[in-house]
Amino acid sequence: MRQGTRHLLTAIALWACLPGIAQTPTPSQTDTPATENQIKAAYLYKFGGYVEWPAQSFDKADSAFVIGVVAADSFAEVLEQTITGRSMNGHPISVRKLRHGEGFTGMHMVFISHTENAALNETIAGVKGQAVLTVTDSERGPNAGSMINFVLEDNKVRFDIAPNPAEQNKLKISARLLSVARKVLGRTS
């Protein structure tokens, strides 16, 4: 996908322009303007629709889709609000708050907050070999080997994608997702 010109929108405009989020049935969020975390939580949920996990990632057809949040419990709560009442490709969604050093077994997606920057590489390394989509919001994330990294540009939440680490972990990221990424890392386009 070719990268088109980018328009900058204000945060307020952004909120107004988030229909999927705005339409979430969560009463607590409908009346309040979306925060950055809320947007990121919504994005996390939406990323699941553009990534293909290997079949062995789920024990059963109705096994839960687990999202782990590392070192960001508040965000985890926002995320839980976001996913309430939703499913991921037929799988119920569960959010798990993780501490530093905790293993990622049984996880399908992990959000590693920038508060974990110190041990970022280590944490990400713990994912290695497992079909877990790693999402960071740190400048160091891509270098640390995260697959998707949120960036704030012109007060708008955007993200970069590094497909290689995902492929190494047997994850297929949809090209449609790549088309809306700010940057696709590790590839010459």
Partner 1 sequence: MKRLGIGSSLRLKLIIVMLATTLVALIVALSAMVAYDLRAYHRGWIADLNAQAELLARTTAPALSFNEVGTARDNLNLLRFTKVHAAVIYTPNGSVFTSYFGEGVKRDIPRLPGNEGVQIEGQQVHVFKRIVDNGDILGTLYLQTDYALYERVWSYLGIAGIVIVASMLVAYLVSSWLQRIITRPVLAIAHTARDVVEQSDYARRAHKSSDDEVGVLADAFNNMLSEIERRTHELEISNRDKDKEVEERRLAQLKVMQLNSALEQRVQERTMQLEASNGQLALAKQAAESANRAKSEFLSNMSHELRTPLNAIIGFGQLLTSENMPYSARQQHEFTQHILKAGHHLLELINEILNLAQIESGKLSLSLETVELDEVLDDCKTMIQPQCDQRGIRLLFPARHGLRVEADRMRLRQVLLNLLSNAVKYNRDAGSVVLECTALDDQRVRISVQDTGMGLNPEQLQLLFQPFNRLGQETSAVEGTGIGLVVTRHLVEMMDGQIGVSSTVGMGTLFWIELQNAAQFGPALAPVVVPTPIEPPLPALKQDDARALVLYVEDNPASLKLVEEILGYRNDLQLISATNAMQGIKLAQAHQPRIILMDNNLPGMDGLQALSMLRGDARTSHIPVIALTASAMPQAIAEGLEKGFFRYVTKPIRIEDLTQAIDQALAKSAARAA
Residues that bind partner 1 in the complex, under the rule CB under 8 A: 1-2, 4-7, 9, 14, 17-20, 22-23, 43, 46, 49-50, 89, 156, 159, 174, 176-177, 179-180
Alpha-carbon distance of 128 to 54, in angstroms, equals 15
In the complex with partner 1, which residue's Cβ is closer, 118 or 175?
175
Q: How far apart are CB 46 and partner 1 at their closest, in Å?
A: 5
Q: Are strands 51-52 and 172-173 parallel, antiparallel or unpaired?
A: antiparallel
Distance of alpha carbon 28 from the chain centroid: 22
Q: How far apart are CB 161 and partner 1 at their closest, in Å?
A: 11
Q: How far apart are CB 58 and partner 1 at their closest, in Å?
A: 17
**Are 51 and 173 in contact, with CB atoms under 8 Å apart?**
yes
Q: Are strands 109-112 and 65-70 parallel, antiparallel or unpaired?
A: parallel
Say whether 31 sits in a helix, a strand or coil.
coil
Cβ neighbours of residue 59 closer than 8 Å, sequence gap 6 or more: none
Q: How far apart are CB 98 and partner 1 at their closest, in Å?
A: 25
Q: How far apart are CB 185 and partner 1 at their closest, in Å?
A: 17
In b/e form, how buried is each residue of 122-158, taking b as 16+ CB within 10 angstroms?
ebbebbeebbbbbbbbbeebbebbbbbbbbeeeebbb
In the complex with partner 1, which residue's Cβ is closer, 108 or 156?
156
Q: How far apart are CB 146 and partner 1 at their closest, in Å?
A: 18
- Reading the block at residue 102, the tokens are 């905790």
In the complex with partner 1, which residue's Cβ is closer, 50 or 58?
50
In the complex with partner 1, which residue's Cβ is closer, 19 or 27?
19
